[in-house]
Amino acid sequence: MEKNRVVITGIGAITPLGNDAKTLWNNLQEGKSGIDYVTRINREDFPVSAAAEVKDFDPTLYMDKKDAKRMDLFTQYAVAAAKMAVEDAKLVIDDSNADRIGVWIGSGIGGMQTLETQHQNFMEKGYRRVSPFFVPMMIPDMAAGQVSIQLGAKGINSCSVTACASGANSIGDAFKAIQRGDVDCMIAGGTEAPLTNMAFAGFSTAKALTFNENPSKASRPFDLNRDGFVMGEGAGILVLEKLDDALKRGAHIYAEIIGYGATGDAYHITAPAEGGEGAARAMNQALSDGGISPEQVDYINAHGTSTNLNDKYETMAIKTVFGDYAYKLAVSSTKSMTGHLLGAAGGIEAVISAKAIEDGIIPPTINYDTPDPECDLDYVPNEARKQKLDVVLSNSLGFGGHNVSLLFKKYE
């Protein structure tokens, strides 16, 4: 059976570098950092100074005030980014197509803020003071649920919860649903709002976060002096569409999605498998799925978290897959500027990959000052690079041993 070709016709983003995809993309090209001193928690209580916070977000620009009050922040971000993506795609959802349009939005943590505030209510005032909306605000699938409700999309409605691979898994699974013919169009990506006391406490005691005192320099993927990731928040959403339908309605096509690789490490709850062997298998799967040889890939948007093991093992995985060609490949980590958006990372980085292909620009890895002998590839240090891009690979790797690679291609 012939598989449907799938293209990206709309993008939407709420990020620490801007509350729309255009602002995000402009700031990335300029090498700007969206990381600053954290304001959502009391800094004195933690060994961590930096966070990548979304600024000046007003949910009422995208939804009714009453509806917004019944959503955790991670859901508000998803609804806003999804509405922007659908508007960008000029997609009209009505009775004629609603049941053929689905939603697949991942979140690693879900309503952490809601959980903490409602638990406090319970401890201080008893069960009667817990909101009746507590459960539907907290559960991670509610971003997809609310996007479906707000937009009237009645096709498959799902959510992948695979830690930092959640957004990428959601896009990959949505792509496959269209390719198989289950649906014609998907609103897909990732969302996260994890900047809470318990998240900072948990990641701090796990020694996963950077203790760097200078926020703009704190996220430094592949640099010798990296010491942990910077937690971020936001949402990145794509409209994925069957090529025939996109052409029929004259939609703008950013890029084609052609490959999806997803593997498990079966190794450790937080550490990546030795040498990045699971990540290497995911990249090989994506290349095979897309019918692309390693030498055809122009750029890799790396997972690149700025943690010691991740960056080292992802570099090793790239060498495993690409051999000598790895040294001719551009590899950059946009987390140097956006921070690590956890379950939303794959969504944001898919938006970035699509824009990179469309504009022929590779965003840099900023704060790359001191090369690490174990990380010796071309990480596009500190300045964006103009380059024709035909094929882009985007990696997302998560706690629990989840590895995802998405493969994008210039539409021809």
Q: Which residues are catalytic?
A: 164, 303, 340
The answer to whether the beta carbons of residues 165 and 397 sit under 8 Å apart is yes
The answer to whether the beta carbons of residues 81 and 12 sit under 8 Å apart is yes
Q: Tokens in use for 63?
A: 């939804």
**Maximal C-alpha separation, the chain:** 64
Place of tokens 């703009």: 216
Report the b/e string of 228-254 with b at 16+ CB within 10 A.
bbbbbbbbbbbbbbbbebbeeeebebb
- CA quadruple 325, 411, 404, 191: dihedral sign: positive
Given its phi and psi angles, is residue 403 left (phi above 0), alpha (psi -120 to 50 degrees) or beta? beta
Amino acid occupying residue 58: D
Please tell me the distance from the alpha carbon of residue 87 to that of residue 221, in angstroms, as a whole number.
34
As beta bridge partners, residue 192 has: 234
Place of tokens 């319970």: 122
The answer to whether the beta carbons of residues 24 and 344 sit under 8 Å apart is no
Q: CA 255 from chain center: how many Å?
A: 17
Burial (CB count within 10 angstroms: exposed 0-12, middle 13-18, buried 19+), residue 57: middle
| Full DSSP string of 18-38 | BSSHHHHHHHHHTT----EE-
Residues listed for the chain: 412
Q: What are phi and psi for residue 31, nearest 5 degrees?
A: 70, 30
Please tell me the distance from the alpha carbon of residue 81 to that of residue 61, in angstroms, as a whole number.
11
Q: What are phi and psi for residue 323, nearest 5 degrees?
A: 60, -140
DSSP one-letter code for 46? S
Please tell me the distance from the alpha carbon of residue 315 to that of residue 328, in angstroms, as a whole number.
13
Query: Minimal CA–CA distance to 234: which of 333, 142, 108?
Result: 108
